[in-house]
Amino acid sequence: MPLPHGSDRALEERDGTWIVIAPEPKGWRARRARTRISPEHPGTAVSWDGELFEVVAARETAAGEARYSLARWPERHTIRVIETYDDAGEERRRREGLDAARRRRRRRGLLVLSPLAGHLPGGVQERWEREYDVSASGMTIVSALPPFVFGVLCALSLTIGGFTGIPLLPWPIGVLVGGLYLMIESGLRLSAAWAQGRPTGSLAGTLVWELGVRLRDLRSRERRR
């Protein structure tokens, strides 16, 4: 008699089919019935405690669980791929689910922190894009727009002040000159990200990142001593 694995529950129906109720979907596909334009397509083949089953139905419950109906595999169908249903497989599935949840959380965090994360080195942003499916060039653009707009205002203030003697913004000259630098740097970053799809960090973001890496390495060496 097959037994459920992991956190699943299993019930045997009167007709000999089994119901497997799982806390998370397993990716098993249900049988597709024959239609006028397509043949019958078997569901996922599942090896369960030495017996072979076919997933004949699959649905998600109102509680968010996955409910699968399994019947003995019909001999008329050819087996192409078999899913093994056992404790090891469920443990692997659980770990993969936790890893996927972690990636989703980090992706949401990166999207919220894009105005800051986009200042970090381009290589760091590209790695995050590969790991968490977040647009690296998008992070650069979101982070570069505010300082670019600020720099444009500073440039306008200096220009108008030079002609009229009355600055547009009553800010110290050091702030206005710093704004000019931000306008140039952010303009170059926007151009690289928008036209070339290449993420680029800011000088300040790169310095902060490198400082953090050096401090981390220093602490790691101290712990090994």
Structural tokens at position 7: 């956190």
pLDDT digit of tens for each residue in the chain (225 aa)?
Answer: 789 999 999 999 988 899 999 998 998 999 988 777 777 889 999 999 999 999 999 999 888 899 999 999 988 888 888 999 999 999 998 898 899 899 999 999 999 999 999 999 999 999 999 999 999 999 999 999 999 999 999 999 999 888 887 777 888 889 999 999 999 999 999 999 999 999 999 999 999 999 999 999 888 888 887
pLDDT at 36: 76
Type of residue at 83 = E
pLDDT at 155: 93
Q: How far apart are CA 157 and CA 153, in angstroms?
A: 6
pLDDT at 116: 96
Residue 17 burial (C-beta neighbours within 10 Å; 0-12, 13-18, 19+): middle
pLDDT at 22: 95
Q: Are 70 and 48 in contact (CB under 8 A)?
A: yes
pLDDT at 46: 95
Structural tokens at position 93: 């599935």
pLDDT at 49: 92
Please state the pTM of the whole predicted model: 0.72
Q: How far apart are CA 87 and CA 6, in angstroms?
A: 6
Q: How far apart are CA 138 and CA 170, in angstroms?
A: 33
User: Could you give the maximum distance between any two Cα atoms of the chain, in Å?
Assistant: 92
pLDDT at 39: 78
pLDDT at 170: 83
Q: How far apart are CA 71 and CA 149, in angstroms?
A: 64
Q: How far apart are CA 176 and CA 156, in angstroms?
A: 10
